[in-house]
Structures are given as C-alpha cells and as structure tokens.
Structure 1
Amino acid sequence: MVDLLHKHNIPRLASWLLAVTGTVLLYASPYVALAQRTGKDSTTVVAPTLRLLVIDENEEPLTGVKVTNRTSGLSVISDGITALDLSSAKKGDVLDLSAFGSILSSYTVGDNMAPVLVLSSKNPAVARLKPVRLLFNTATRADLTSASTQAVYNNDLQKMPVTSVLSALSGRLAGLATNQFIGQPGNDGTLTTLRNQSPLVIIDGIPRQLTVFDLEEIESITALKDAVSGAMLGVRGSNGALVITTRRGSPARQRISFTAQTAIQQPLRFPNPLNAAQYASLYNEALRNDGQAPVYSDAAIQAYQDGSDPYRYPNVNWRDQVTKPSSRFDRYTFSASGGNNFSKYFVSLDHINQTGLLRESDANKYNTNNNFQAFTVRSNVDLQLSPKLSAGIYLLGRILNGNDAGFGTGSILANVLLTPNNAYPVFNPNGSYGGSQQYQTNIWAQTVGSGYQQNFKRDMLADFYLKRTLDELTPGLWVRAMGSYYATLSENIFRAKTFAVFQRNISATGAETYQQFGNNGDQANSNGIDYQGRSDYLEFTLGYDRTFGNNGFNALLLANRQNSVTGSDLPYTITGTSGRASYNYKQKYVLEASFGLNGSNRYPDGGRTKYGFFPAVGAAWNINEEDFLKPYNWLSYLKLFGSYGKTGLDNPGYFTYIQRYFDSPSAVFGTGAGGNTSLTEQPIANYNITWEKANKLNLGLQGAVFNNHLGFTVEYYNMKFYDLLMQRGRNTTLLGNTYPDENIGQNRYSGVDLQLSFQQEKNGLSYYATVNAGFQNTKVLFMDEVFRPYDWMQRTGQRVGQTFGYIADGLFQTAEEVKNSATVVGYTPQPGDIKYKDLNGDGVIDQLDQAPIGNTKPSIPFGASLGFRWKGFDVSALVQGVANRTIYMQSASTWAFQNNGFGQAYEQHIDRWTPTNTDATYPRVWIGTNVNNQAVSSYWMRSGDYVRLKNVEIGYTVPVHLLSRIRVQSIRLFANGTNLLTANKDQTIDPESYLSTYPVQRLINVGLNLKL
C-alpha cells in the first residue's frame, strides 16, 4: 500500500501513513481476541463467550437494539459503546434483533464468537435509533423533537467519486435541489438549494465554507429546514442549514481502513459544430438573408469538403484538437478509528489526483493540462480526562494544488465554442501557428504554447473543547467551552507566455508570404496571493438533560462569537447568545422552543439594526404511543409535528451604512505636486440597514407501517421572507448617484416535501427503495417597482426570479404576414424572423409587450434510490431529476455566427427557417447580432426537466471465513458510475451545465476497500 503511494509521487503521505498506522496498531484489538483459548501449556480450556456488536451500514454502533435469545429467552440491549455479552448463547441458538417492537433481523450463532451484525438505516426503526444531529454539536432522538430534519449517511456519500460534498447530495434529500453546472477538476460546481434557499454549511457545529474534503471522514449530513431547528443561528438561520458531522472513534469498534479507487472521466454533451463546408454554405445563406453578397465560392466549399488543401481551406474540429475524450480521477483514503475508556480517535488521510481534458505537447517540459491534486489530513481525538471532565481536539489540514495552461482552460474552451472549423489551420506549412486578421490567436497555441499557471491552496483547521459535568450541583447539568481557528491561503504562480500566429498568403504568381500577428514573448515568472483569510470562533455552553419519572427535560444556553477576516477587509464579526429547551411527557408529547439573539458588526451601533431576536416554538405528538392505537399492529410509528418561528439573514454588504468617498486619478485640479485628486462619491449610505427576516411555518406527519417496513414523511411549509434588501424601483435619476439597498422586499416560499421508503430482509436478501420529492412554489409579495401600465408587466405576484420577455408567436412565413403584423421598434422583420405577440394592441412591439415567460408552476426536484444485498453482493442505484423547470438559452452555441459574425455554427442551426422549411426549430440565419431574433423571448426558453441516472454501484464483499488466515476484517471490491444516463427533451444540451464551457463529467469508477 505504501509502495502504491510512493508510485503516485506522494512520499510524505506515505510517511504519515506509516507513522499513523504504527500508532493505531498499538491500540487495535480484534474481536477474535475476546474468545481465545489459553496457552498450549495450560491444562484448562476457557469456553468461548459470545460477544457481538450491532452497527449500521455506516459502521456506527447502534444504541437501543434489543437482542433476544429464542432458546433461553434472555435479552440484552446495546449501548453503542461496548460489545454485548451473551454468555449463555450456544452454537445453533437464534438471536432476534428488535427495536420499537419490530424484529429487525435474526442471527444464528455459529463458530464466530465475536460477530459484527449490520442493520440497515433504511429501516425506519433503525433510523429512529440514530441520533438527530442539531446545531452546536447537539443531538436528540428522532421521536423527541419537532424539528424538520433529514440526514444522509457516510455509506451513501462514498458512492459518488466527487471532490465536493455538495455534489454527493443530489437526489438524496427531500426539498434539496442540486444543479451541477460545471465538471472542472477540483470544482464540481454544484449549486445547492434547500426549499429554494442557499443553506448555510456547518461543520462540527461551526459555520464554515469548506466543501471539498474527504467524504470518508463524514459521519452524516443533516438538513435543518424549519424555524425551530435553525432559530439558534439567529441572523444566519433563514436559509436553513446543512450540518456536516465528521466521524468519531468508538471503543466498541476498532478499525483500520484503506480504499483505493480510480475512475475514467468522460465529458457529457459538447455542442456539435458544423464542419467547414457546412459552415461556409450556411454563412453564405446568412449573408444573403442580410442582403449581402456571399463570400465563399462553390470551389472553396468543395475544397473544405474534400480536404484537398487543408492549409488554404482548413477543417479543424477544435474540440477534438485541444481536448481528450477521457481523463482520470484517482483517490486513495486511509483511516483508522477506535479507542478505549480514556481516549477515542478517528484519523484519515486522503489523496485525490484528477486530470483535466486538455491535450498536452511532448515539446513542453512542463504540464499544461488543467490537473487537480488534493491532500487532506483529519484527526478527531476525544479524551475522558476524569469521570467528569472530557476534552476533544479536532484537526484538519488540506492542500489543494491546481495546474492549468497559461491562457486558462475556461478561455480556451470558450474559444472552442466561438471559433469555426475553417478559421485557420492549426499549423502552417512552415510549422508556425496558423491565424488570420480576424482570428489573431490560435487555440492549440493557447493550449500548449501559452506557458502554464498554478494555484496552491492551504487550509488549516483546529477545534478544541472541554466539557465538565456538574452532577454535584444537580444531575444532568453540564458546561462546555469550545474554541476554533481556521486559516486559508490561496497563491497563484504565473508562468505564461505570448506567441505569434501567422496568416499564409498566396499571390497571383504563387508566391508564399506570411503576415504576423502577435509576438513570441519570454515566459513570465510571477506570483500573487489570490486570497487569504482566517476565522476564529469561541463558544460557551450550559446544558441540562434529565428525566423525572414521566417528564423529560433538555435545555441548552450558549454564547458564541465568530470573527472572520478576508484579504484586506475589516473583520466581520457575529456575536450573540442562543438557546433551546425541550420537554416531553412519557416520550409521547413534546414541546420545544429555541431562540437566537445576535447580530454583526456591519450595522450601525445602537437602535434596532444591530441585534435581532429570533424565537421559534414547536410541538410533536407520538400518536402511536396512545392506547387507542395499540390494537392496530400494522401501525409501527406515527408522529405529528409542527413549528413556527422567526429567523434572520445577515446580508449587510461592506459597511454600507457609512458614506464613503474613493479617490480617483481621473481628474486633477491645479498643477504640479500640489494638484488635488478628485473624489468619487460611492452609493448613498443606508444608516437604517438591518437584517432580512423570515416567518416560517412547518407541519409534518411521519410514520412507519407493516412492522417498520414502510416509512413515510409528509411536510408542508410556508415561509414569508420580508425586509429583503433591494433598490426602490421608483428612485429618480436626477440625483446622479446610485441608491442604496433598503429593507423593503417581501417574498413567499411554500411547498410540500415527501419521502417514502421501503426496506425488508427475507431469506438472506435485504432490499430497499426510497423516493423523495419536493413541490416548491414561490411568489413575490412586494417589490418597489417602476411604473408599469399593464398587469402582465408587474413583477409583484409572480414567481421569485421570474424571467420576463416577449411572447413568441412562431416565425414570420411571408412578407404579407410581416406587413400585417405589429412593427418592431428599430427593426424591419422579414420572413423567418421571430414574431411576437402585441399584448397591448398598439401595433408596436416594445417593452410594454414583455410578460412572464417560462415556467410558472411549482418546481419539483426529486430523487429515488434502491438497492439490495445478497450473499456478499450489494447493488444500489440513484435516480435524480427535476420537473416543471425551464431554462433560458443564451450560451455561446445558442445562436449561429455570434462574435460580430466570426462565431461558430452548430448542428441545431441546420434546421433553420427557409422558404421550403417553414416548420423549422431555428429562425432564418443571420450574421452578428439581430435585435429582433436575439431579444429575450419565450422562443429561447427550453424545458429544463430531466431524469438522470446519477449513480449505480455494484460491490462484492469477500466472505469472512476466507479472510481468517490473513487477519483481514473485510475486503470489498466495487464498481460505480456517476452521471450515467440523462433523459431530457433537448438532447443537444446538458440540462444542468448548458451555460458552462466545461461540461459535466461521466465517471466510471472501480475500487477496493480493505479493513483490518
């Protein structure tokens, strides 16, 4: 294993691996040691004692599982810490594992006297055993909270070979929508919204911006959706939160794990360009449509077609020239966990090596591909210093290295989209780079001849805590102090260089000359700080958790402060207090309340704008505990819950309440050194700026039926966001300055989240299926609009972010139809142009005819996962998509001959309008910009609905009896694929990355997991 790491140029990681492994092995104690005979010199043989451990598929010990011996009738309950001692169990006895009155699994005692039994978290009963992760490193039982939460666990996250945590959440959580808009190495580019809001990312209790790190170190990601779960965040609670909890060690489970995996990446759906002959023919047609003479002769078009003179008549497919059909993604992860009564530990080392799509040249002694490497080290150590005092030290180190061509991958791929195949040859006959007066650069030279650039990111994170129980004062009372420090630095190194291109000219006599554009420059050598920042966090918490007979109390009160500095900006500090209290009676009725009282330093001192109070209340009723439902054996669990509260969102800008003036060298008054530099007034200050707010209502019903095989959750939410910052639409321009954002906007977000799950184990076959969907509706309640004389022009009452434009009414078919239609201001249409509806009937198409275009129905993100296990084999699949979504096409490949007429044309432009093709999908072609056809209109709206086979994984775990001699706990081989198949209406585009120059990747991945 270490040799493998050395082979991939990471000797330091190999050294760390040796050091950590050596340390961990001192603690590791395989369970087989619990049932050993005495030495061979002894005359006494100790009878083996059955000691089993109950875990879930994420390798987390479970608490509350009842194990009953059918023969003896004796039972024990797992505590999640120690292995269960079943001294009376004998070979052949059958053990039933149950929870909440349901049999979860059965186990027949065999020769293995230290088995590890795995229960699926897909079973609703097992899911109820797992703690619900809340804010500030707290947790509760699922049936003892009214909070709206949902979690995804480590086992599902690791099925996705991605770099960003957010990219692994697609289709997993109800109400969570994802859009992977780019597939660039090291930047999966996934936009994530939770009930139409951008959730706050919280890692181990602290808000952080980290999303690229080792997926194996994550225990769970929990979505907090409602007010009672997020109110403690105060001015950061309105958008909901994704609570990421990293893994901890356990004395009940010693483990060393190594995973090696490698994937082939393939780009999805590059736009297909026209070849040179097709391009020239269509270009001539566009010129004729614009009343101009064609520029390509029939002979030239034939030469493009047959390739008889590739220098004068080139036909270069630039995508194939500069990009590879596939690239690599390699990942190696080592982790170890375990502990004893004094300490628990989890450590992990992760290395990613991801190559890009750009081709390279052997002539270079340096790499010009857009590669990405990451090295991540995680260490979580918890210490029990005394019976009453515990502590923890959590460390994270991360190194991210990026490499790219000097010109930049984004710019290169953008030029690929814009450059026609016949623009110039890659090389001239004399070996120089091809170019021309119109194209004074060369894409291949940009790829391999522009030098290179590198980016180095360094992140360091350290969390510390001390916790002291205060049972001597009153049982259940505790206090905790926590501190954290985070530092980040990103540095760029530029070693780019310029290059010359040459246009080859042939005179009438056949003489060959070259015209030069640009110069061959020396390679630069400079560096600069891209960004740097640091953040410190302090927290003090007082907690209470106690049960008196039928009454259970849980309370939390904390004060915290987070201070962040980015670049040269002044610190951004959020300070305040928050709390939560919960009461339950007989674990049947639950009342909850939470609050946040905090604010930031970006608001003026004093008054109502500095700090805000954000309260929330909730209640839950475990209906299945009622006596009148006891006879209904088919009902396993039923909880009715709801919450209501006020939350906040901090969106202050950079000290916008202070009127600022920036100096400018644009004008100088006076002469010589005594001249006065002019001052530029910045936007008008808003001294009354304050935080945005939301009132949130959430109602839900959660349950399980048929012996906990079928589970369901239904939630309704209604959220009013108000005091939203925006400019007034009726501001006058007479002042001559930019007006500030003011707290005046109001939006409403409402919808329903649904989840349905089924899980069963029968005759050694365990299978499951889960479906989730979110119905998301939005509405603008108020915005200060400019005067709009017609109802269809009003933004108020429409969906939030609704697109407005002209409503297309097909294409003009005849000159007579053009003559009898409304006129277009500043343009004379012709047959084949887009025709628009004259909504106000004034005979003119202008801004008064713009109305909502695209989808006005609730958006529906959805996901479905299913899988099974049988005799060491496991198979899973994830489907993800969205319905009622429209997208506006405005990419570089949308219109033909962009870029002042020098742009590319694509396959979809073949189906353009002509007098003989009147039912075309594209208007008549034109050169450059067409103010009529390129106006924002419904013509360019496309269905964004899609269904994507997001992930499929097949695995095989080698039977334990085959591993006993090599002292390996388990070996699992697996293969998975991501972004395998996509079904959408417009097959020429990817429904997620249709605006990106770097396409989303399909990954085919194989790997090996070894556990000791």
Structure 2
Amino acid sequence: MLTINDLTMIKTKTLYLVLITIFFMKPFAGIAQEVNELNEVSATITNKSGDGLKDVLIQASNSKNTTLTNENGVFRLKIQEEDILIISRLGYEESVIYIDNGSLENETIVLKQFGVIQPEEAINISLGNLPFERITGSVERITGDELSDFPTAFVQEALAGRLSGLTSNYNDALPTAEGFGNSIRRQGAGQILVDGVPVTNIVLTPAEVDDVVIAKDYGSSFMFGTLGAPGAIIVNSKHGLPGGRSIKFKSRTGVRTPTFLPNVMNAQDYAKNYNTALVNDGFAPIYSQNDINDYTTGENPVRNPNNNYYDDLVDGVSTYSHVTGDFSGGNKNVQYFSHLGFYNTNGIESVGDGRKLTRLRLNNNVQIKFSEKGAVNLGIGGSFNKRKEPALNANSAFNTMYNYPANALPYKINDTIYGRTPEYGTNLLVGLAHGSIIEDERRDAFARIGLDLDLSELTKGLTFKALVGMYTLNILSKRRDPRVNMAEPVFTLNNDGSYTTTFRNYTRGNNENDWVRAGDRVDRSQFINANLHYNRDFSDDHKVIADVIFSNQEITGSQLVQNTIFRNLGLRVNYLLKQKYVLEGKLMNSPIRQLSQDERSKINYDAGFAWLMHKENFFAGTSWLNFLKLRANFGVQSRPVSQFFISENLYGGLGSGQFGINGKTSSGGGNIRVFTASGDIRTPKQEYLSIGVDFQMANSKINGQLNYFNIRNYDQIGFFNGFYAILPSNFSPLVNKGDTRFRGIDGSISYNNKIGNLSYKFGVNAMYGESYATEFDYINYPAGEEQRNITGNKGGRILGLEADGIFQNDTEVANAIPQLFGEVKPGDIRYKDFNNDGVIDEKDIHEIGNAPRFSYGVNYMMQYKNWSFSVHGDGVLGGDYVETLHWNRGTNNYTKEIANSWPVSNSLPKLTTLSNSNNYRNSSFWLKNAGYFNVRSIMVAYSLPQAFLKNIGVKDFSFSAASKNPFVISSNKDRYMPSRNKGYLEHPVLKAFELGIQVTF
C-alpha cells in the first residue's frame, strides 16, 4: 500500500521531470541571423584605472569571429550589422555589448574588476535594486568567480575570511554531513535568499553563483522584516548571457586528511600514569608490572589489549571528486543557464564499508523577454543525496577514540565473539564495521517564477516585480541493525600462572535483520513577493526611488510544532538631492502571529542618510580621490520568536511536551515551563545604529569601507529562572526581560594594481566588537563583588581565580592562605587572594581574560600571464580561552602531555582519579591564547594561451592545484584553533589537496 510519503515522492519526481523537460525545450527562435556584410570595429579595453588590458578575449556572437587585445588593450574585429560582443578576462566580470548599427558607441570599454566599487551599479538588496551610491547601509559584494578559487563544494565555506563583519565556522566536519555557519556581526546569518527566495541553508556550489551580497545593517536589510534584523546573505545564481552558447566542464579530484588528531598514550603508559593517579589519591595501584609488560609485548591481547584507535580504525585519508557542467547562452530575448553537478565523498574510517555520500545537483535558470514591457524568469533545481554510513555517528566515534584508554576492551575475544565491558559500552570495531547501518535519501527541490513589468505607460518610472517560489525537502531513511556475538571476558588465574577465560553478559548475534523504515522527514516552504517600484528623475537635482513591498513565507514540516509564517508589508523612499545627498526612510509591518493583535499591528521604522562627498567642490580637482560616501542609518525592527501558541499554553518537562490549561494539565518531573497567554508579551526588538564610509582612491586602485555599529536587542522573550523565587508554584511564565548590546567597528580595504603582465589584488578585512548585557536573568553580586557581575560589564569576559603556581610540598600548603575548594595537597594549584580578606573562595573570582574580540581576513590574488595564484585566510587577534581537555580524566584516556603532570613538571597539576574542585575550575592556570591565523585555501592555476585556444574553438582550458585548511598558525600546535574540540570530542576538520581541470567551449 502506498503511504503519504510515497505519494509525495512520486509527485516530487513528476514535478522534476515536467519542469526539466520545459527547461530543455526552451524556444530560441531568432538566434540564427542572416549572413550580412561584415564591418570592422576597433576599441581599447581598460580597467577602471585606465590600464590597457592585454589578452582580453572578444567574441562576436553572430559573425563568429574572435580576437584578443594587444599589449595596449586594443583590438580589431569584423562583426555583423547586428551583433553581440562577449568580452572576458580572468579577474574581471564578463561583459556584453550590443551592436545595433555595425559600430561601437564608445572607443573605450571599461571592464569591471573584482572588488572595485562601481557607484552606479545596481545592487540587489531588500527585494529590489538600488545603485550602490544611493544605499545608506553597509553592503559588500563578491562574485561567484572569485569564490571559485576556494576548493569546496559549498558557498558558505568559500565565504570564510572574504568579507568584513562576516565570520564563518564549521558546525559539523563530518564528510557525509558537512555544515557551515556564517554570522553577520555576531548576530547570526539573518535572512538568507537564493535568487530572491528565502532558504535556511545555501546549497549552491560556487560554480553556480553569480554573486553574493552581504547586507549588514538596516540601510540594506531592513525590508526583509524580522528575519533581516541580523542582516542578510543574498545569493544570486548565474544566468545566461546573450550571444550564443557556452559550455563549461570542470572536474576536481582530491584527498582529505584530518587537520589534527589527539596524541594519546598507549596502554602501558596509561597504566603507569593511572597507577600514579591512584597513589596520589591514597589508593593502591591496580596495574601490576606483569600487566604493563604484557601491554608492551602484546602477548595477551584479550586480557591486556593495547589498542591504537587512530591507527587501527582511521585510514586518515578521505577521497572525493566533484564534476560540474554549466550550459548557458541565448539572445536578446531569451537567456538560459543550466548547471549539473556530481559530488562524491568518503569517510576517513578504515574499517567496514565506511561513510559514503553521493550528490547530484541541478540548477536551471531562464529569462524570457516576451515584449518590450515585460519579462519572466524561471528557475528549477535541487539535489539528490544518497548517504550510507554506520549508525554510530562520526562525532561519537571520535569522541570515543579520544576518551577510551588503549586497554579499555579487546576488539575481539576470538573469531566469533567481540569484547564488551561494563565501564566502556562501545566496541568501536563493532560500531564502525559490524553494527547498525543507516541509509537515507535526501531530495530537495525548488521552483520559482518571476514576472517583471514596465508600467511606465501608466506612470513614468513605474515597474512591477513579483516572485513566487517553493522549496521542498524529503528525507527517507532506513536502518539495518545486525548484531554480533558479544561478551565480557573474565580471567581466572591458574596455579601455573596462566589464565582461564570465561564469558559473562553473553549476547548472541543475528545477521538476518531486514531494513526497517526510520524517521522520514518532509519540509515545505512557500514564498511570494511583490514589489511596486518607482524610479523617477524629476531633474538632475531631484531623483526618487520608491518601493512598496509585500512578502509572505510559510514553512511547514514534520518536525515543526506549528506552521511558521513570516509576512511583511513595507514602504521605502530613497531621495537623491543635487546628485550628492541621499535621504531614505522605511516603514515595515512584520506581524508575529504568536503575539497579540495589538503587537502584530505595530510598525517598524528606519531612516538613512548618505553624502557623496567626492562630488563636493572642496574635492574638485583632487586626483587621488575617486569616490567617498559618508552614510548613516538608524532603525528599530522586530525580531522573530521561538514557537509557542496563542490560545493554548505549552508545558514541557524533561524534553516532553503537553498542551492544556494551567492547573489542569501538567507533565511529570523536572521544572515545568508555562508558555502563558501572549497578550502580556511584547514584540522582541532590535535597535540598530550604523555609521560608515565607502571610499575609492588612487585611480580606483584602493577600495574599501569602514563602519561603526551599535546593536541593541531588547524585550527578548525567555524563561528566566530568577522568577522561581517569587512564584508560588512550579510554573514559570515567558517574559520580556533580556536586553543586550553589541557594538564595534568593521571594515575592509583592498589594493589592486597592474605592473606589466602582473596583475594582483591584496585585501584585508577586520571586525572588533564588544557585547554587553544591560538586563538579563543573572545574579547581581553585592558590594565588593561587583567584578563578578555579568550585567553591566563587557560580554565575553572569562571569570575565574588568579593562579600562583602549584604547591610543591606540605609546608607550602600549611603556610598558604586557606583555599576553600576542598582538601588541598601538594600538586594542587595555589591561588591569589584577590580581595585580600585572608581566605580564597568564590569572592576572589574576577576577570582573568576575555574571549577574542578582533577577527580578520586576508586575501591575495595575482595573475602573471597565464598563471594565477590565490591564498585566503582568517583568524583572530588576542583573546583567551580556558583549556579543559586535561581536566580530571577519571578512567578516560590520557594524552601524552598529561605525562608532564606534577611532579615531573609544573605544567599540569597532579594526576587524580577523583573530582578536584580546587584544580578543575576557571583560573589563569588554564588560560590559553586564543589567537590564530588559519590558511583557508591556496590555489595555483595555469590557462592555455588564448592565442592558441581561439583557433580550435575552445574559450578556456586550465589546470589547477589547490589545498584547503593546509595549516594553522597559533601557539597551540595540537589544536585546530577555529574549532578547538574538533578532532578530540568531535570528528576532526579535514584539510584537502586536489587537482582540477576546466574547459570552456
């Protein structure tokens, strides 16, 4: 019998087939042209600095002729009366020029260089376009071609270190489920849009991307409503260009290996040090010298195993391949772009079938101009992912490898029985090679249709744009649970010194298990946007752009408690006075359905200003300044809230949930939260002030921006523990209490230049930010302990005790100031009396360090003749973190560094098997420098000369070699500093080395 999920999958497949058929049956009537007499044209191609560009490829679509510019940037080409020129060069955006009368309008053609400000260029922000010079907020843009020099299949990873105010991290480093997070000014990713449609994740590859725009404040993100409060990441996929067809194939193959893995003790070293820990605690050692000898010789591998998990179970190398094909072209009326990609990767475990992921990616765009007044754009695509891996999660597997000592248990007792012990419940060999297996198929699809209408016949300057889109995600999972024979070995010592092995807790296995269905998932997102756009120049001194915007997004899913709806209705007016003063105002209603009707009707606002200073008379005649814009904006916007109901209260306890009325329905155990009637809850809000400058100098060679921002999040909704003291029952309501601030500066600067055949660009971006909690559910300490307060102080402070070395003997302990954190013995940490009250206790806790506040990125790209090279990296300066990896290990494994514990050296306190509240707490003893610089990617490429390629019908043929995460510069030699626990408590981040080839026809 067909289930609902089966029917859903059938419908999804049918939708794919129908829409893909439509895309590959596009009408391209009119592409063919009659052969006319050819005209010769000539022009000079330069960059914005005026430098002539050599070896620029110029292709005439209709005449089919091609040529290259000479060393001065000059070209001559024979074209038809009606023709289209396509101009391309590495490091510059592709340009299209229409020929209508057999001649060029201008004798000089300026190509757009990556990262150079174009004041009049329209930027796609806030569901509409604005010229860069009229945007009152901070925006940065990067092209997909720039991102393509990062060896990755994920756009979000390629953004690392590339734009100011944007920080990137690895949420999950699993090869079969990689996840990356981007945060704008540490407020989260905000609204993410792909071709105008909201998404929760960017599934595009860099090869599919035209550009990515980061909208960092209300001057550029306000019109996205509540989701745009933290900022927005706007991704526009590639579209076809007029002028014939282009076919590009790219293949990349590589290997990945862990950036860092722990250096842990073998069984004999662990036994020796564990014995030491027992003696330190006043207990007798449990490992005899014979045990230690057997660990060394390996004579009794069942009774005395000496496992090296990383050598035994981790191959250390994961292979992957990524093949893409891009097909684009069109004419003046129809343009199309189609992307097909195949991605395959494996895990790094060396036993069993391993982890495997295959992905097929489709993306198709078409733009059709059906009249002089109207056009439609269509999009369809998605991905098919198939994953197979052990049910033992890769993070859990590596956590186990780090924590289990080498003698925890034998992998196998004999050929048919695997080992187990009460203390260590996971046999890694079973979990990775002989245990449960998960297979799932993830199928996500999107479809969109947009309409652009010119309504100037009704009112001059009036246009209308609408976009309807949908996204669907289906995950079908199945699981197989084979079982092996497992038992706990018991060893009885015989009179002759040998041992007899018996079993207890024996479990007989079963390999006959069938696949069973597991946890299917269905998500849907529907989106509609309409924009009535008015752009009118009343005179050179008075220009107006106005937008009325409506958008509605509804999200449904099998994992949601309730449907989520985001609806926005907004007005934006942008006024340019005398070509140099911009005034902008915005109003927005973004109702939050969980709140009361009064709250849902409230209006958010933003006001912005920009001053184009380079146009003022006092800068007239200055050759060093090309562009200078001073801008500012201030606004208040609603913030989204977590799920809860209006008419019903939601109770939860220990992870369970029930619905009902207070006093009539409850859940057992734990503290119970009550989501009270929302009439008493105000809308959470964000207040944003941003001031900045955009500049271009030195004949367009220097470009950049500098920003100050002050962000306040207030009326935050939460469940606050402090209310327990004043409530007569176990029930506690949601209330508006949180009030936090984050302020700082960010900016970027780049320098590009051309010296002979060498072109290069060097860029640096950075952000410094400080957070504050002005109201929250934190303890307020009395006079004399104000240093412990979180409220009113800078965020990110590390509070703890000031260490003063390690006690060396009983005399030092007896003569020291009393420390009230348990019994103190030689080998324990000594602390300073911060408040000089003659005793060391919690009142001596104070600020001992702070988390990093300064982050930065460095990017360098160069081209010399047919060679190109790039390197990108990011990092943080200053700041600290508390190293907890060496805190009481109990019976867990030891890293080799623990062998240096006191009294061998004073780098670590004495070993112990017990909890030690004196040593294992925040203190300066454990404080480490958090600074690092991570080289994210290095790539070198060579392109065959255009003079050779243009004669064989090939536009580009290039080879590349690249590395991802090759090394980290920091004072912590054994840690991947951007994600310190990965490799220890989680799957390690992988570094990659790959070779690639690309050919374009």
TM-score (norm 1): 0.85
C-alpha distance 851-728 of structure 1, shift in aligned 2 (>3 A): farther
For residue 111 of structure 1, report the CA deviation from its aligned partner.
7.1
CA contact (8 A) 1:704 1:710 kept: yes
1:589 aligned partner, one-letter code: Y
Structure 1 runs not aligned, ≥5 long: 1-11, 39-45, 57-63, 71-77, 95-104, 362-366, 667-675
The residue correspondences of 1:450-461 to structure 2 (distance < 5 A) are 450-461=435-446
For residue 578 of structure 1, report the CA deviation from its aligned partner.
1.1
Correspondence for 1:819: 814
Correspondence for 1:300: 291
Correspondence for 1:158: 148
Correspondence for 1:867: 861
Mapped pair 1:528 → 2:518: yes
Mapped pair 1:1005 → 2:976: no
Mapped pair 1:324 → 2:315: yes
C-alpha separation in 2, matches of 1:395 and 1:292? 69
Correspondence for 1:405: 390
1:177 aligned partner, one-letter code: T
Mapped pair 1:142 → 2:132: yes
For residue 832 of structure 1, report the CA deviation from its aligned partner.
1.4
Correspondence for 1:830: 825
For residue 205 of structure 1, report the CA deviation from its aligned partner.
2.1
SS of 1:483's equivalent?
A: strand
C-alpha separation in 2, matches of 1:448 and 1:91? 59
Correspondence for 1:98: none
The residue correspondences of 1:940-959 to structure 2 (distance < 5 A) are 940-959=926-945
Correspondence for 1:478: 463
C-alpha distance 254-85 of structure 1, shift in aligned 2 (>3 A): closer
1:943 aligned partner, one-letter code: N
Mapped pair 1:877 → 2:866: no
SS of 2:977's equivalent?
A: coil
C-alpha distance 85-328 of structure 1, shift in aligned 2 (>3 A): closer
Mapped pair 1:630 → 2:620: yes
1:496 aligned partner, one-letter code: D
2:767 is aligned, of 774, 788, 792, to 774
1:318 aligned partner, one-letter code: Y
C-alpha separation in 2, matches of 1:229 and 1:374? 34
CA contact (8 A) 1:897 1:904 kept: yes
C-alpha separation in 2, matches of 1:164 and 1:528? 28
SS of 2:603's equivalent?
A: strand
Correspondence for 2:976: 990
Deviations 1:308-358 (A, max 9, x none): 444433221111211111111211111112222332211111111111111
C-alpha separation in 1, matches of 2:60 and 2:758? 26
1:923 is aligned, of 884, 893, 909, to 909
CA contact (8 A) 2:779 2:789 kept: no
SS of 2:270's equivalent?
A: helix
CA contact (8 A) 2:581 2:612 kept: yes
For residue 962 of structure 1, report the CA deviation from its aligned partner.
2.3
CA contact (8 A) 1:53 1:83 kept: no
C-alpha separation in 1, matches of 2:803 and 2:236? 50
The residue correspondences of 1:56-205 to structure 2 (distance < 5 A) are 106-109=72-75, 116-118=87-89, 120=92, 122=113, 125=116, 127-128=118-119, 130-136=121-127, 138-200=128-190, 201-205=192-196
C-alpha separation in 1, matches of 2:832 and 2:153? 47
The residue correspondences of 1:23-62 to structure 2 (distance < 5 A) are 46-47=37-38, 49-50=40-41
Tell me which moved more, 515-524 or 287-296. 515-524
CA contact (8 A) 1:17 1:349 kept: no
Mapped pair 1:560 → 2:526: no
CA contact (8 A) 2:41 2:77 kept: no
2:638 is aligned, of 648, 657, 669, to 648
2:436 aligned partner, one-letter code: G
2:517 aligned partner, one-letter code: N
CA contact (8 A) 2:821 2:918 kept: no
C-alpha separation in 2, matches of 1:220 and 1:54? 23
CA contact (8 A) 1:181 1:1000 kept: no
Q: How many aligned positions are there?
A: 935
1:391 aligned partner, one-letter code: V
C-alpha separation in 1, matches of 2:397 and 2:244? 51
CA contact (8 A) 1:124 1:708 kept: no
C-alpha separation in 1, matches of 2:689 and 2:435? 56
Mapped pair 1:722 → 2:722: no
C-alpha separation in 1, matches of 2:591 and 2:24? 47
C-alpha distance 518-128 of structure 1, shift in aligned 2 (>3 A): farther
CA contact (8 A) 2:410 2:419 kept: yes
Identity level (%): 24
C-alpha separation in 1, matches of 2:869 and 2:667? 67
2:998 aligned partner, one-letter code: N
1:165 aligned partner, one-letter code: V
CA contact (8 A) 2:53 2:72 kept: no
C-alpha separation in 1, matches of 2:775 and 2:321? 50
CA contact (8 A) 1:51 1:83 kept: no
C-alpha separation in 2, matches of 1:587 and 1:957? 44
C-alpha distance 20-879 of structure 1, shift in aligned 2 (>3 A): farther
The residue correspondences of 1:376-775 to structure 2 (distance < 5 A) are 376-430=361-415, 432-499=417-484, 500-503=486-489, 505=491, 507-508=493-494, 509=496, 510=498, 512-517=500-505, 519=507, 520-522=509-511, 523=513, 525-550=515-540, 551-567=542-558, 569-604=561-596, 606-607=597-598, 609-655=599-645, 658-660=648-650, 682-685=673-676, 687=678, 688-728=680-720, 730-733=722-725, 735-775=728-768
C-alpha distance 656-303 of structure 1, shift in aligned 2 (>3 A): farther
C-alpha separation in 1, matches of 2:490 and 2:929? 46
C-alpha separation in 1, matches of 2:21 and 2:221? 41
C-alpha separation in 2, matches of 1:883 and 1:912? 30
1:108 aligned partner, one-letter code: V
CA contact (8 A) 1:163 1:186 kept: no
C-alpha separation in 2, matches of 1:931 and 1:313? 33
CA contact (8 A) 1:406 1:453 kept: yes
Deviations 1:423-470 (A, max 9, x none): 233333555323445335421111101031122222121111222211
2:898 is aligned, of 909, 916, 922, to 909
Deviations 1:885-940 (A, max 9, x none): 333334xx433633xx2x100022122111x53xx221111115333322344433
CA contact (8 A) 1:553 1:582 kept: yes
- CA RMSD, 1 decimal: 3.7
Deviations 1:135-193 (A, max 9, x none): 21x22222222221011210222222334322111110111122225421143333322
SS of 2:226's equivalent?
A: coil
Structure 2 runs not aligned, ≥5 long: 1-13, 80-84, 93-111, 657-663
SS of 2:732's equivalent?
A: coil
C-alpha distance 871-28 of structure 1, shift in aligned 2 (>3 A): farther
Correspondence for 1:277: 268
TM-score (norm 2): 0.86
C-alpha separation in 2, matches of 1:354 and 1:217? 20
Deviations 1:561-603 (A, max 9, x none): 1111122522111223012221213432222222321112122
C-alpha separation in 2, matches of 1:28 and 1:50? 24
CA contact (8 A) 1:657 1:689 kept: no
C-alpha separation in 2, matches of 1:218 and 1:256? 16
Deviations 1:634-684 (A, max 9, x none): 222222122111122112432277424579999xxxxxxxxx997666425
